[in-house]
Every structure is written in structure tokens, then in C-alpha cells.
Structure 1
Amino acid sequence: MNTSITAPIFPITALSKQSKEVKDAADKGPVRITENGRGAYVFMSEQALNDLIERERADAAYEAYLLDAVQRGATDIEEGRYSTSREEMFQRACERRARYA
């Protein structure tokens, strides 16, 4: 998640002066806290952190699945296991189905 674009930004003084607003925003996701006009901290609720971790974990698992699928596809092409026409594809599918029937 790119917090620099999507996260609300509060000055560090908001932690004491606007704590409800900061906490409400932190319940939804990361909040950037600035100090002397520069980014200094990122604040979020524990649930928002857990949700973020779970989304990142799911994204990483999906990326690994896609990488594996692409690698298997490349191996199939290298080893000649592909079809160049629809008819050939259906013929191979029928042959494969017959083997497992």
C-alpha cells in the first residue's frame, strides 16, 4: 500500500489535540504523522494492520501462484505441449479425457 498518496496526514500535535479524528482515521488504515512538516511516523489500529498484513499475504500467495502457472506454461511450450489450432486443442482434450475415463 502506498501510504504517501492515500493515507490521511496529521501533524504530531493532532495526537493530543484531535485524538478522536486520528484514531477514527487509523481504524480505516494507515495515518501519516508529520513532525516539523516532514513525514515522521505511520499510525494505524491493530485491526487495520492485521487487515493490511492479510491482504499483502494473499497478494504474495497469488503472485506465487501466477509465477508458477507462467513457468509451467513456458515449460509446456518448450517441450512441445501446446496447440496451434482450435481443432488440435479439442483433439488433445478428447485424448486426455479418454485416458482418465
Structure 2
Amino acid sequence: MTAIYSSAALKTRQREIKDIARKDVVHITENGNAAFVFMSEELFEEQLNKAAEEAALTERMRACIKASDDCFEQGECIEGTDAFFSVLDERLAANG
């Protein structure tokens, strides 16, 4: 469950908030509105790495889709699973 605390709780429940922040993101509100997030340095680093990996994967997928669109526009397409696996085997053999 998402941990949500008021900014006033930072004074009275520090230990509890810190304990949760070591494992999960803690949301801090001001006047009932979302204002801040609080987490450990380790968790922050993990979140950054995860976001970077997802961004890299998204970019690779975008590049693959663009390359396949370009090939299709140039008439470079394979019809049927037998033809596909034949070309795949050739490419795998060529690349070792």
C-alpha cells in the first residue's frame, strides 16, 4: 500500500517514515495535496536505474519498429513462417 503522510508527520513520526522510505517511496502532502516524495538514496538509485533501462528498451524498440517500417517500404519483407525461419537460420549462421 502506498505510504502517504502529511508534512506535519515529518516532525512526529520521523522514525516510522524513515523505516518505510528505506524500502518504498513515501508521499508527503501539504494541506491535503501531493507535495513531495521521500525515499532512501539506495531506493532512489534503483529507481533511476530502472527508469534508464526502461528508456533504453523503449528506444531500442522504437528503432526496431522504424527499421522494419523502412524495410517494408523498400519491399524487403518475408512471407510465411517457413521463409522467416529460413532467413533467420541464415542470419544466425552468418553471425556465428
* TM-score tier (shorter): 0.7 to 0.9
Instruction: Single out whichever of 34-43 and 57-66 deviates more from structure 2.
Output: 34-43
Give me the CA root mean square deviation.
2.5
Q: Identity across aligned pairs (percent)?
A: 29
SS at 2:22 equivalent: helix
TM-score by length of structure 2 reads 0.80
Q: Given that residues 22 and 31 in structure 1 are in contact (C-alpha distance below 8 angstroms), is that contact kept between their aligned partners in structure 2? A: yes
The reply on whether 1:69 has 2:55 as its aligned counterpart is: no
SS at 2:47 equivalent: helix
Output the CA distance in 1 between the equivalents of 2:21 and 2:58.
Answer: 28
Counterparts in 2 of 1:45 and 1:87: CA distance versus 1, 3 Å: closer
Cα shift readout 1:43-75 (whole Å, capped 9, x = no counterpart): 111111111110000000000110011111111
Q: How much does 1:38 deviate?
A: 2.0
Tell me the matched-pair count: 96
Output the CA distance in 2 between the equivalents of 1:11 and 1:26.
Answer: 14
Residue of structure 1 equivalent to 2:47: 52
SS at 2:28 equivalent: strand
Gap runs ≥5 in structure 2? none
Counterparts in 2 of 1:14 and 1:99: CA distance versus 1, 3 Å: closer
User: Aligned match of 1:20 in 15, 32, 37?
Assistant: 15
Cα shift readout 1:21-50 (whole Å, capped 9, x = no counterpart): 101111123211112222222111111111
The reply on whether 1:29 has 2:46 as its aligned counterpart is: no
Amino acid at match of 1:56: A
Gap runs ≥5 in structure 1? 1-5
Output the CA distance in 2 between the equivalents of 1:14 and 1:57.
Answer: 32
